[in-house]
Structure 1
Amino acid sequence: MNYINVVNMEFADAYVQMFDLIDDCILVVDMDKRILLFNEASEILDGVKREDVIGKTIDHVYVSERYNSATMECLKSGRAVENMVQNYTTIFGKNVLTISSSYPLIQEDHMVGVITITKDISKFYKIMDVFHRHEPKAIEEIKEKPVFHFEDLIGNDENFLNAINNAKTAAETKSNVLIYGETGTGKELFAQSIHNASGAKGRFVPINCAAIPDNLLESLLFGTSKGAFTGAENTTGLFEEAKDGTLFLDELNSMSLDLQAKILRAVETGKIRRVGETKEEKITFRILSALNIHPMEAIEKNLLRRDLYYRLGVVSVIIPPLRERREDILVLLDNFINVHNEKYHKKIPGFENEVIEVFKAYNWPGNVRELEHAVEHSCIMANDNRMIRYSDLPHFLTEKVSDGVNSILSKSEIKVPDTIKIDDYLGDIERKIIIEKLNSNNGNVAKTAKELGLSRQTLTYRIRKLNI
C-alpha cells in the first residue's frame, strides 16, 4: 500500500466511533499539519484528550527534539513511510516508544493529508529487557495468566456449543489447534480454556503476531545468542518459556511467510534455535494459533503457508460471529451488565425493551467485543438504579440501526403493520431473502450460502429454524 484514496477529509461521528474500536492508534492530519482525527487508542497511548488536540498542529502536541516523525516525513516526501520506530514526548510529558506507518491521503490526484497507524511497542521492549536481565520473578509478573475456562464461555447457540465441544475434545490431546473467528469473537478465551483444561504443566504464553515487527518477533519467539546483533545477549525465547505448556500465536496471518517457515521447522522437528546460535535445543510445546480470516482465504491471499496450516490446524475450532447466534445476545447482555455494575459500582437492573430490540437488530461487525463495548458505554451513561434507555446507547449503534432499518424498508415489499415486534419482522425479511436466493440458485444450498456470506452449516441451520 503506497497511498489511500479519499472522497473528502470530513469524519462523521460514526466513523470516529468505528476507529475507536481499533486497538491501533489512528492519526489523520491535513497538509497544514492540523490534526483532524485522533482515536481512543491514541488518547490512551499519548495521555491526551482528543478535544485538546483536534485542530492543533502535530508539532504543538509532540514537542520532543528527538521526535523522528513518520507523519512529518510522509508530509514532506509525499511517499509512504512504513515501520518507523519513534521515541517521543507529548506536551504533557509522557514518553512514548512506538512503531508507525504513514500513508498519503489522495483526493482527485492531489495529496490532501496523511494517515498514521501506530503500535505501542514499549511493553515488548520491556519484555526483552527482562529477558536480558534474566529475572525469573519479573518474567512471571509480565506473563499473562490464563484466567478463562470453558464454563466462562457464554452462549446456547448450536454452532457455538459445537465449537466449545470441539475445543474440549482437543484439550484432551496434545495436538496443535487452530482457532478461526472474526475479530471480537473470543479466540483467546477459547485458547485459554483449552490450555486450562489440558492439564499442561507449563505456562500459557500468548503473543499477538500483528502487534510486533517481524525482526523483534523472531527474537521474542526463539530467543537470542550473545553477539547475534549489536547489543544482543543470551535471552530466553517464548518457545522456551512455553516448555511443557502452550504457545498461543494470535493473528498468525499477520506473520511474514519467512518467519512462518521457521515456525514450521520448529513444529516439525520439536527443536528451536536461538537467533545467532548454531545448535538446536529440543523442547516440548503445544501451539494454539488464531486467524481472523478463513484459513483457505489466508492461504489463497498468500498470508498463510499451506504446509504450516496442516501442522497447526490438526484440530480446527470455528467460532461463529455474533450475527449468526443472535439468540445468545440476551444472555450476553445479562452477563455484561453484571460485570459492569460491579466495575462501576452501579445497580442498573437491565435494559428497556426498546434497547433490547436495538441490540437484537444490529449486525455486530465487532462481535462480542463490540457488544460489551456498547454495554459498558451504556452503563456509564445511565443513572444508577434505572433501566438502560435508548438515549444511553453509543451513537454509532443507534445511527447504524436507523440506517439499516431505513435501507430494509426501502427495498422490502413486506408491508409493516402498525404494531409488530422488530425481531419477528427481521425474521420475516431474512426468510424472504433466503427463499429468493434459493429459488434463483435452483435450490443449491452451497452456492446460496456463499452469496449470503454464510457457511453451508449455518445456512442449513437457518433454513430449519425458519421452516423454509
Structure 2
Amino acid sequence: MTDTLSTLKHIYETILNKVDAGIHAVDETGKTIIYNEKMTKMELMDEQDVLHKNLLDVFMFKENQQSTLVQALQKGKETVNVKQTYFNNQGQEITTINNTFPILKDGVIQGAVEIAQDVTKLERLIRQNIRQKGNTRFTFDSIIGSSQAVHDVIEDAKRATRTPSYVLIIGETGTGKELFAQSIHNGSSRSSAPFISQNCAALPDNLIESLLFGTKRGAFTGAMDNPGLFEQAQGGTLLLDEINSLNPNLQAKLLRVLQEKTVRRIGDTVDKPVNVRVIANMNEDPIDAIAENRLRKDLYYRLGVVTLFIPPLRERKEDIIELTKFFIKKYNDLFQMNVKTVDHQVMSSFLSYDWPGNVRELEHIIEGAMNLVMDEDVIHYSHLPFQYRTKFQLKQHEHFENKASSDATSYPSAFHPSLPLKEQLLAFEAECIKQTLEQHRHNISKSAKILGLTRQSLQYRMKRLNIRSK
C-alpha cells in the first residue's frame, strides 16, 4: 500500500511539473498547497517563497483589483480566460491569462485552483509598441535614478511639457539626453504628432541643410520637391542632436526658422509656416562652444529658453545600484537568463570608477558581463570585459597611491554633531565650493575645473545650496 501511494505521489508530481501551464492551488484558509515548476518560472519565485503561505501575504494586486484565486475561494466564482496583472514578492509585474475554479465538496468550498498561461512578455511588447507611436518609446517613467540631481532635472523637464518653448539639453555623451527629449515630447500636447530626431554631426553641411529645410525641384542637379525635417515634424517635435556641430552659416539659417517660424526650401522663393517645437542637444559646455566659435551666441539664447543639464554618472553615483539592477533585468529578459545581482567586488569597482561614458558605458559593461555568465546567477569580477578589469585595477592603484597625500590634505570643517548625515554632507559640499570660489576670485570656470565639475554642474550646485557668486 505504501509503495502504491509513493508511486501515485511521484506520478502526480511529475504530471504537475511537466504540464505546460502554471498551477497554483490554495486550501480553504488561502494558504498555498500546490505550486508547480511552471508557475515558479512564470512568477520568478522559488517554491519555498509561496508554499504554505497565505496568498495575499506573498502577492500584491493593483488598487481596486482582486485575485481571481481569492474570488474563487471566497465567492465560489469561476473565471475563464481572464487576464490578470499583479506583482510578485520582489515587486516585479506579472501578467497571466487565468482559468480559476473553486474546489467543492458536498457544496462546501474546500479551496481553489488556478491554471495560468504567462503573457508577461507579450504584454510588455504591446506597451512598448504603443509607446513607440510617433517614433518614441521613452517617458519620464523610463528615467532610472532617485538621486536629487536627477530628480531636479526631471521636475524641470516635466514643467517644460506645458509650453511649446524651445529646449536645450546639455550633457556628456551617454547621459541620456534623447531619453529626456522623448519624455518631454510624450508628456506634452504634441505627443500624438511626429517626433523626428537628427544628429547634426552625422552628415556633411550640404546634405544636412537639404535634410533640414527641404529642396525644390531644379535647385541643383538632381534636386526634387522634398519636404525637410521641419515640414515633416509639423505639429510635433524636432530633436537636433549635437547642434554645435553645424557650421555658423547653417546656424544662422536655423536661427531664422526658429524666430520667424517659417521655412524656405532650398531653391524656393516661398516661406512655409511651421509649427514645430525644437529640442536641441549638446555634449559640451555652451559657454566653451561660444568662446571657441562652435556655437552662435544668438542661437544659444534662442534655443536655451529652457535649459536642462543632465548630470554625468560620476556626480550621481548613488544611482549606480539602481541602474545596475535595471540593466540586469533588461538583459535577463533579452537573453532569457536569471542573473540576480553583482558581487561586492564588482559593485565596489563600479562605485569607485569615474564613468567617462556615463550610463551608456555602465549598460555596455553589464551586457558584456552577462555574455560571459554561464550557470551563475551573480556577476563576478571575472565576468567583466577584460578592458574594464584593467581600468578598475588602475583606478584602485591610483586610489591607494594618493591616499597618503589625501589624508594629509586640509579639508574644510563642516561637522555639526546635531545634524543628520545628509545635512552634514550638504554643509561640507557648500563649504568646499565656497572656499574654492574664494581661492579663484569667484571664477566659475576655474573653480569648476578644480572641483572636477562642469561649469553647469557647479552652477546647479551653487543654486541648490544658495551660494552666490560675487
Fold shared, TM-score > 0.5 on shorter chain:
yes
For 2:309 and 2:458, locate their aligned partners in 1 and report how far apart those are by CA, in whole Å.
13
Per the alignment, residue 155 of structure 2 pairs with 165
Q: Which has the higher contact order (CA 8 A, sep 6+)?
A: 1
For 2:287 and 2:461, locate their aligned partners in 1 and report how far apart those are by CA, in whole Å.
19
Look up the equivalent residue of 1:456 and give its one-letter code. Answer: L
Which residue among 284, 291, 299 is the counterpart of 2:275? 284
For 2:194 and 2:363, locate their aligned partners in 1 and report how far apart those are by CA, in whole Å.
28
Per the alignment, residue 300 of structure 1 pairs with 291
- Structure 1 residues 312 and 442, CA gap change in structure 2 (3 angstroms): closer
Per the alignment, residue 312 of structure 2 pairs with 321
- Structure 1 residues 325 and 436, CA gap change in structure 2 (3 angstroms): closer
RMSD: 2.8
- Structure 1 residues 143 and 206, CA gap change in structure 2 (3 angstroms): farther
Tell me, what secondary structure is at the counterpart of 1:211?
A: coil
Tell me, what secondary structure is at the counterpart of 2:321?
A: helix
Structure 2: gaps spanning 5 or more residues: 1-131, 408-424
Contact 1:179/1:290 (8 A) holds in 2: yes
Q: Deviations over 1:388-413 (max 9, x none)?
A: 01011112222112112212322321
Q: CA deviation at 1:297?
A: 1.1
- Structure 1 residues 299 and 440, CA gap change in structure 2 (3 angstroms): closer
Q: CA deviation at 1:436?
A: 11
Structure 1: gaps spanning 5 or more residues: 1-141, 417-427
For 1:435 and 1:264, locate their aligned partners in 2 and report how far apart those are by CA, in whole Å.
40
Q: CA deviation at 1:448?
A: 3.8
Per the alignment, residue 379 of structure 1 pairs with 370
Tell me, what secondary structure is at the counterpart of 1:244?
A: coil
Per the alignment, residue 452 of structure 1 pairs with 451
Look up the equivalent residue of 1:190 and give its one-letter code. Answer: F
Contact 2:134/2:193 (8 A) holds in 1: no
Tell me, what secondary structure is at the counterpart of 2:163?
A: coil
Tell me, what secondary structure is at the counterpart of 2:222?
A: coil
> Which residues of 2 match residues 309-458 of structure 1 at below 5 A?
309-413=300-404, 438=435, 442=439, 446=444, 448-454=447-453, 455-457=457-459
Q: TM-score, normalised by structure 1?
A: 0.62
Look up the equivalent residue of 2:351 and give its one-letter code. Answer: K
Larger radius of gyration, structure 1 or 2? 2
Task: Provide the identity percentage.
Answer: 45
For 1:437 and 1:399, locate their aligned partners in 2 and report how far apart those are by CA, in whole Å.
37
Look up the equivalent residue of 1:377 and give its one-letter code. Answer: G
Q: Which of structure 1's runs of 4+ aligned residues deviate more than 3 A?
A: 434-450, 457-464
Q: CA deviation at 1:453?
A: 2.8
Per the alignment, residue 168 of structure 2 pairs with 178
Tell me, what secondary structure is at the counterpart of 1:376?
A: helix
Matched residue count: 309
Tell me, what secondary structure is at the counterpart of 1:259?
A: helix
> Which residues of 2 match residues 30-49 of structure 1 at below 5 A?
none
For 2:278 and 2:436, locate their aligned partners in 1 and report how far apart those are by CA, in whole Å.
44
Tell me, what secondary structure is at the counterpart of 1:365?
A: coil
- Structure 1 residues 463 and 191, CA gap change in structure 2 (3 angstroms): closer
Q: TM-score, normalised by structure 2?
A: 0.61
Please state if 1:205 is matched with 2:204: no
Tell me, what secondary structure is at the counterpart of 2:379?
A: coil
- Structure 1 residues 143 and 228, CA gap change in structure 2 (3 angstroms): farther
Which residue among 146, 150, 154 is the counterpart of 2:136? 146
